[in-house]
Amino acid sequence: MEQREVRMGDFGSEGAVFWQAARAGRFILPKCIDCGQVHWYPRAVCPFCLSSEIGWQESRGLGHVYASTFFRRTDAPYVIAYVELDEGPRMLTTIVTGDVASISIGQRVQIHFAADDTVNGAYPVFRPIGAS
């Protein structure tokens, strides 16, 4: 099976606005100007009405865990989850926590940007609310 290295250049400009905001620590969600719906993941063409008029709305990045799993088969086990944002969309992400046993469905979480030197400089992860 082919394994390819993924480079930023492969992706063009479609997510550029999002990643630029992410690097500045801001979480923004794509919202179609024509149909008014918020979607995830961000696209240049609205997945509800195929409009190209996509705006962005600021988000506090609050939500709750819709599903989560603690993936152990690696040197540094981590929590993978779908987080349901208060704005509605469910996004695939990781939960950063020192206490994996405390992560369960329904747990309130808030966004946090993790540094990433391979793809986009910063990417969204979540932390349990109340945790340090």
Partner 1 sequence: MNGVPQIVGAFEHPTRLAPDKTVAQLHAEAARGALADAGLTKDDVDGYFCSGDAPGGALSMANYLNLRLRHCDTLDVGGSSAVAQVAQACAAIQMGKCNVALITQAGRPKSLGVTTGTKKIVKDSLAPDVIWELPYAVPNVANYALVAARHFYEFGTTSEQLAWVRVAASHHAQHNPNAVLRKLVTVDDVLQSPLISDPLHRLDCCLITDGGGAIVVARNEIAVSLRRPAIRLRGAGLALKHQEAGAIDLTYSAAAQSGREAFSQAGIDAADIRYASIYDSFTITVIIQLEDLGFCPKGKGGAFVADGNLIANVGRLAVNTDGGGLCNNHPANRGGITKVIEAVRQLRQEAVPAVQVKNCELACVQATGGHMATRHASATLILERT
Cα dihedral across residues 120, 22, 112, 46: positive or negative: negative
Neighbours of 32 (CB within 10 A): 21
Residue 33 engages partner 1 in binding (rule: CB under 8 A):
no
Work out which of 17, 21, 62, 91 binds partner 1, going by CB under 8 A.
91
From the list 24, 35, 50, 114, which residue makes contact with partner 1 (rule: CB under 8 A)? 114
Distance, in Å, from the CA atom of 21 to the CA atom of 32, rounded to the nearest integer, reads: 18
**Which one, 2 or 132, has the nearer CB to partner 1?**
2
DSSP state of 128: E
Least separation, in Å, of the C-beta of 6 and partner 1? 4
| 20 binds partner 1 per the rule CB under 8 A | no
Instruction: Please answer whether residues 32 and 52 qualify as being in contact, where contact means their C-beta atoms are separated by less than 8 angstroms.
Output: no
As given in the structure block, the two tokens for residue 128 are 């349990």
List residues binding partner 1 (CB under 8 A).
1-7, 10-11, 14-15, 37-43, 47-48, 66-74, 80-82, 88-94, 105, 114, 116, 119-120, 123
